[in-house]
Amino acid sequence: MKIAVIGAGASGITAAIYAKRVNPSNSVTVIERSDRILKKILSTGNGRCNLSNAVIAEDNYYSQSPDAITKILTAFTPCEERQFFEELGIMFCEESSRIYPYSKKASAVCDALRFEVERLGIKVILNTRVKEIKKASQGFIINNLKYDRVIISAGGSAAPIFGTDGNSFNLLKSLGHRITPVFPALVPIKTKENTASLKGIRANCAITLIKNGISVKKEEGELQLTQYGLSGIAIMQLSRLTQKGDIIEIDLIPHLLEDEVTKHLFNRAVLLKERRIEDFLTGILHKPLAMYIYKELSIPLDLKAENLTKKDIINLSKKLKALRFTAVSTLSWEDAQVTAGGALLDEFDLSTLESKICPGLYCTGEALDCVGDCGGYNLHWAWTTGAISGKAAGKGEN
């Protein structure tokens, strides 16, 4: 059987490996538009590749078809995923449930997969962008070559620098599939407030997304302030739900209650009474962030700590517990890690990922309508859907 895999990313390479392993007489060809395979993987997890998570649950994934996610996640288990990588020579290490290769090198994951592609004799065609998949009487024609099965693994629209600019969706639409609305996810947020003076500051916070006065989701983690607004893992996690006008409330001292912060500040104003205001919060906050807060509260900088009024201290503690920013938008596809939305899962057989609309066609990874949380969940989805589709496409009768 001749099988074409379009896209040599995480899910495509996994699909190709399984399609060949399941029947070594299959001819498996991966067609990739860029000049090497697995380019995106090298940049994942800041070059360390957070390839999965020790705690995988359907709650970590978002889709218009949530029941479908549960079925897909159980069709290839984390145990099978672990075995897949161990057989490729990857030893794991774990950091707060995030799984990395033991060497903490994304290149190790790429190399291990590349060695297996070579060992199995999978053909790889580089620098070739698939623009059209034609249906033939039996099978498909791609660039004048006939294939019995086609697996679309060309990713989503996020991070187009890695070759993913929504190609999958055009190919899938041309074959009759519906695509749910797609938008950037795991992406920084642009705010109305000018944060240029705060650029580069990082702080551990609890962050709440508030819509129309109602708290909808809370995340804890490192906040990164940037020239245009807010970034960091906790912000990226909230970005999928964030819309223009939403409030992002930052608790800069999450381990203390507001009363405790107020008490601390009153004691501090006595203890450090000679300190100039601009240095009053030194040891708690980065100075530019403290200055930003004084400006918001109109507290003059030429005061000394002993001149702070009771109202000043109460307002200061309120700000430290609930510094608010207003979302203008998320940043664009260029800055997003993943794509929310994609090919409607209801149009696929969930145990094989074969299209119900176009038999012989399979789809994997970010091209499908599913996005995961930060923490290895998106790569887990890629390996999982790659394995399911590869096994099924490789087994199919011609």
Ligand X SMILES: Cc1cc2nc3c(=O)[nH]c(=O)nc-3n(C[C@H](O)[C@H](O)[C@H](O)COP(=O)(O)OP(=O)(O)OC[C@H]3O[C@@H](n4cnc5c(N)ncnc54)[C@H](O)[C@@H]3O)c2cc1C
User: Which residues of the shown chain bind ligand X in the complex (CB under 6 A)?
Assistant: 6-12, 31-34, 39-40, 43-45, 49-50, 129-130, 153-155, 158-159, 162-164, 167, 337-338, 365-367, 376-379, 382
Of 37 and 253, the one with the shorter C-beta distance to ligand X is 37
Of 42 and 303, the one with the shorter C-beta distance to ligand X is 42
- Nearest approach in angstroms of CB 323 to ligand X is 28
Of 59 and 260, the one with the shorter C-beta distance to ligand X is 59
Of 129 and 134, the one with the shorter C-beta distance to ligand X is 129
Of 34 and 239, the one with the shorter C-beta distance to ligand X is 34
Q: DSSP for 257-282?
A: -HHHHHHHHHHHHHHTTTSBHHHHTB
Contacts for 14 with CB less than 8 Å, ≥ 6 apart: 84, 113, 364, 382, 383, 386, 387, 390
- Nearest approach in angstroms of CB 143 to ligand X is 10
CA distance 70 to 77: 11
Q: DSSP for 17-55?
A: HHHHHH-TTSEEEEE-SSSSTTTGGGGGGGGT---EESS
In a 3-state reduction of DSSP, which class is residue 108? helix
Of 162 and 266, the one with the shorter C-beta distance to ligand X is 162
Element spanning 345, H or E: none
- Nearest approach in angstroms of CB 135 to ligand X is 17
- Nearest approach in angstroms of CB 187 to ligand X is 10
Q: Which residue is nearest to ligand X (CB)?
A: 9
Q: DSSP for 222-252?
A: EEEE-SSEEESHHHHHHHTT--TT-EEEEES
CB 68 within 8 A of CB 190: no
- Nearest approach in angstroms of CB 104 to ligand X is 11
- Nearest approach in angstroms of CB 196 to ligand X is 24
Of 164 and 208, the one with the shorter C-beta distance to ligand X is 164
- Nearest approach in angstroms of CB 130 to ligand X is 4
Cross-strand partners of 56:
none
Which of 392, 395, 376, 393 shows the shortest CA–CA distance to 81? 376
In a 3-state reduction of DSSP, which class is residue 92? strand
Contacts for 9 with CB less than 8 Å, ≥ 6 apart: 38, 39, 40, 41, 153, 154, 155, 162, 164, 365, 382
Of 153 and 195, the one with the shorter C-beta distance to ligand X is 153
Q: In a 10 Å sphere around its CB, with 0-12 CB exposed, 13-18 middle and 19+ buried, how is residue 136 labelled?
A: exposed
CA distances from 286 to 189, 282, 291, 373 (A): 21, 7, 9, 29
- Nearest approach in angstroms of CB 310 to ligand X is 47
